[in-house]
A = this chain, B = another copy of it.
Amino acid sequence: MTSGRHLNVTVWNENVHEQREASVRSIYPNGMHAPIVEGIRRELGDVDVRVATLDEPEHGLTDALLAATDVLTWWGHAAHDRVSDHVVARVHARVLDGMGIVVLHSGHHSKIFRRLMGTTCDLRWRSDPGGEREVIWTVNPGHPIAAGVPQPIVVPHDEMYGEFFDIPQPDELVFITSFEGGEVFRSGCCFVRGAGRIAYFSPGDQEYPVYHQPEIQRVIANCVRWCASTTSTNDSPARRQANAQRGWFSEGEPPARTH
């Protein structure tokens, strides 16, 4: 399975839990970004994947890097407030201009996701030791982000994320999850904002090896491919300004009316 064109992907990881907690390090010795990168490479083939983390200058998200990125993936949890507002504004503008973004798990509370959604993005959660079984059902079976995954996907142990999840109604809802405790969650959500696409996929936590699971890696890769399937906008602010001054008609005169 390959995408139709070469893609440049940037995998962003807060990379804090991995430094601090031995339990996380034992599951993700090379960082949570490692299996995410591995899955994207395996599933998408013709792709360049770079990694950027919180501690780099500008969190690794320079103007140059973003300009050269087709799709950015985002994992954060413990340090959302340490992400600079300036970088958030830059990512936000780039998404509206057409870059895709795949927001993962606790990224629901990141500054960038909340800014794109316009809501609190709060949810119900429970983190019992050992986690609980998550069952992920496809509710849009022809959607590209569900390509090649079983119905349902079962994650043996995950943290519970439950409704009400305070997001705008997704433009396309693809996955709904149930947890052993009886909760449900809209776990695969697609949004369009400006010329950009946003996918949110909730499974995955620093305490469980969810990102090593091949079906989960496949969905993330599918999200990357879907987020890249936009086109260059035909309506940039620059074009709009020109049009506002001279009218949209190209010859300076509106076409004649026939009656």
Contacts and interface: CB of A to CB of B under 8 A. Distances in A.
Contacts of A166: 96, 194
A85 to B, nearest CB: 12
Interface stretch (A18-26, A57-65, A239-247): A239-247
A177 to B, nearest CB: 7
Interface in A107-162: 115-120, 122, 124-126, 128, 130-133, 135, 137-144, 146-152, 154, 156-157, 162
Please indicate which of the listed interface residues A130, A132, A144, A240 has the most CB atoms of chain B within 10 Å of its own CB: A240
A43 B85 CA distance: 42
Contacts of A179: 178
Contacts of A118: 115-118, 193
A158 to B, nearest CB: 11
A195 interface: yes
Nearest to A117: B118
A168 B165 contact: no
A234 B133 contact: no
Contact of A142 (B141, B183, B195): B195
A181 interface: yes
Contacts of A115: 118
A139 B163 contact: yes
Given A144-B230, A166-B194, 17 more contacts: A119-B193, A124-B240, A132-B259, A135-B183, A137-B164, A139-B163, A139-B164, A140-B169, A142-B192, A150-B234, A154-B255, A163-B235, A168-B193, A173-B173, A180-B182, A181-B254, A184-B184
8 contacts: A117-B118, A133-B255, A137-B164, A139-B165, A151-B234, A152-B182, A180-B182, A180-B259
List the 6 closest pairs (A to B, CB-CB), nearest first.
A4-B4, A142-B195, A147-B231, A142-B230, A141-B233, A118-B118
Interface of A: 2-5, 96, 98, 115-120, 122, 124-126, 128, 130-133, 135, 137-144, 146-152, 154, 156-157, 162-166, 168-169, 171-173, 176-184, 186, 191-197, 229-235, 237, 239-240, 243-244, 247-249, 254-255, 257-259
